[in-house]
């Protein structure tokens, strides 16, 4: 019995090594959900999510143009989606804005809380560069901004690890 155990361990180790060596060759679609804190929206105000892709265009001929895709969703205080999610596609340096005027929010009172979120869809490994930056603002009919919430980092695929220093 004692002689069979080392052989079993070697066989089990080989099976595990083979299992981990099976690499995938396809792509996987991943959706990341970014949620802003709740904000109040009152009569005469509009909430707007603005998105920009800061990935630079490649100087290489025939390289894929940078593009970010996804949806923007607004929800009420009960968590129910307001309207339908709005799709976006933004190229390098382009800005897309999705707005929700108070009159379309279905709040019913003169003021209510809303929740805005961005769902970014990315293929992994990414064939198209995307580095999305976005913000939420609430402004009135005169254009005066009452709330501004932004993200300061962008979403990019992880870089390859550099060689260790010896």
Region 64-70 average pLDDT = 91
Region 156-160 average pLDDT = 46
Say which range, 37-41, 104-108, 129-133, 148-152, has the weakest mean pLDDT: 148-152
Q: For residues 138 and 45, is the Cβ–Cβ distance under 8 A?
A: yes
What pLDDT, on the 0 to 100 scale, is given for residue 75? 96
Q: For residues 19 and 113, is the Cβ–Cβ distance under 8 A?
A: no
Region 117-144 average pLDDT = 91
Q: How far is CA 130 from CA 23, 24, 141, in A?
A: 24, 22, 33
The position carrying tokens 């999705």 is 98
Domains present along the chain, CATH in parentheses: 28-150 (2.60.290)
Backbone torsion region of residue 93, taken as left when φ is above 0, otherwise alpha when ψ lies between -120 and 50, otherwise beta: left
Name residue 116's beta-bridge partners. 74
Average pLDDT taken over every residue of the chain:
82
What pLDDT, on the 0 to 100 scale, is given for residue 108? 84
More confident residue, 91 or 13: 91
pLDDT tens for residues 92-115? 999 999 999 999 999 888 999 999
Q: In which band, very low, low, confident or very high, does the pLDDT at 4 lie, cut at 50, 70 and 90?
A: low
Check whether 9 has a pLDDT greater than 50.
no
More confident residue, 3 or 135: 135
More confident residue, 115 or 11: 115
Region 106-127 average pLDDT = 90
Q: 3-state class of 85 per DSSP?
A: coil
Q: How far is CA 140 from CA 38, 98, 101, 103, in A?
A: 17, 16, 9, 12
CA nearest neighbour of 117 among 73, 149, 61, 156: 73
Question: What dihedral do alpha carbons 69, 75, 81, 83 form, nearest 10°?
Answer: -80
Q: For residues 99 and 46, is the Cβ–Cβ distance under 8 A?
A: yes
Say which range, 12-26, 43-57, 75-89, 141-155, has the weakest mean pLDDT: 12-26
């Amino acid at each position: 019995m004692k002689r069979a155990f080392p052989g079993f361990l070697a066989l089990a180790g080989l099976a595990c090594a083979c299992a981990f060596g099976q690499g995938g060759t396809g792509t996987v679609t991943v959706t990341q959900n970014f949620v802003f804190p709740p904000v109040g929206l009152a009569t005469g105000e509009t909430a707007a999510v603005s998105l920009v892709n800061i990935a630079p265009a490649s100087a290489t001929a025939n390289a894929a143009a940078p593009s970010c895709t996804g949806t923007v969703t607004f929800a009420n205080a009960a968590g129910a989606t307001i309207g339908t999610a709005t799709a976006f596609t933004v190229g390098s340096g382009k800005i897309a804005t999705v707005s929700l005027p108070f009159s379309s929010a279905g709040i019913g009172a003169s003021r209510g809380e809303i929740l805005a979120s961005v769902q970014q869809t990315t293929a992994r490994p990414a064939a198209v560069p995307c580095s999305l930056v976005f913000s939420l603002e609430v402004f009135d009919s005169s254009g005066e901004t009452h709330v501004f919430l932004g993200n300061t980092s962008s979403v990019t695929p992880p870089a390859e690890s550099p060689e260790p220093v010896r």
